[in-house]
Structure 1
């Protein structure tokens, strides 16, 4: 697993190995991560990465957030309540020499509470598949003021996720067994469906 673009391109990240089965560690493959960032950078919705404050929910190894840093994000907050995940995450932050521009929070992503800092422009959401945790995490993030107006959410799941009030779908792509849905924070908007198989 490596950073696939930007200033840290080629940086080898810590190996997950067999990991902890209870931790549900399932890192986004390099190919899917590259596809996600191509979608963000080249999409008609504008590139949200440069200068962004990023929230990486169910962060796992932190590969998505670190990829965003490599491509111009200014700060990343990683949220994961798993011991194995946070160990790998801290190792990867050290490898990337990103200690000064990252935060690691031991939190339940579905119960974020109130955000007391500036909201985030870009949110990555890669929950354990098929458990309904993604929708709950987004509802928590919206209720707590974690997502900036116009902020973009990248949600990975094994099936098309249900609509979330307060977010409008701007794209959806399928990569193997992973469905990536892009959403934008807005008001009184209805989600659109545009599944494209890739």
Structure 2
């Protein structure tokens, strides 16, 4: 019993892979559909984003374990808003921000689509992470809501992680910057482009 509990605790950890908190291990709860972005994919993504992260305002939708948003904070983002519906996961995100001593992260416990539908009352975001539970097939409504609600800065970067067979359309002003696959996962980075 103790061995399996210990193994489960180790399995429910993410490791920050770069920046000021490099190597820090953080816990996340057992929540259905919560699937942290793997280390290799994260390393690739943040290599792509490196020039754009310092002082960036970031939005981590479906934050879950916080793997993307906390990594962005570690690597120099000025602030990160983590949106997560699950109460337990939200509480752990707040606890992890406290452990890291970060004042730049803000956790919002809300349904992502409902929250996006309210529109953005603040400054637009420079970097947005879209990584919903694959079973919910929410990519298209989230992309549509991001485009409609004043969420995106003029040259924003938008990261979309999906299953290989997932289907969605992006707006005409989203230019595909990079596109890779790892197993059954596709991950793409778009930038809003002025030229159309």
Question: Shorter-chain TM-score category?
Answer: 0.7 to 0.9
Q: Number of paired residues? A: 179
Matched, 1:29 2:33: no
1:51 is aligned to 55
1:164 is aligned to 170
2:27 is aligned to 14
Larger Rg: 2
Are 1:167 and 1:187, in contact at CA under 8 Å, matched by a contact in 2? no
Matched, 1:136 2:141: yes
1:104 is aligned to 107
Are 1:110 and 1:138, in contact at CA under 8 Å, matched by a contact in 2? no
- For 1:37-186, list aligned pairs within 5 A: 37-41=46-50, 47-98=51-102, 100-111=103-114, 112=116, 113-159=118-164, 161-165=167-171, 166-186=173-193
Q: In proportion to residue count, which structure has more helix?
A: 2
Are 2:20 and 2:74, in contact at CA under 8 Å, matched by a contact in 1? yes
Separation in 2 of the partners of 1:188 and 1:106?
36
TM, length-normalised to structure 1: 0.83
Pairwise CA distance, 1:34:
1.4
Aligned-residue CA RMSD in angstroms?
1.7
Are 2:63 and 2:82, in contact at CA under 8 Å, matched by a contact in 1? yes
Pairwise CA distance, 1:15:
4.0
1:193 is aligned to none
TM, length-normalised to structure 2: 0.84
Could you tell me which runs of 5 or more consecutive residues in structure 2 were left unpaired when the two chains were aligned: 1-13
Separation in 2 of the partners of 1:110 and 1:15?
23
| CA shift digits 1:94-129 (9 cap, x unpaired) | 22211x211111222223121111000000111011
Separation in 2 of the partners of 1:185 and 1:89?
29
Are 1:57 and 1:109, in contact at CA under 8 Å, matched by a contact in 2? yes
Are 1:170 and 1:182, in contact at CA under 8 Å, matched by a contact in 2? yes
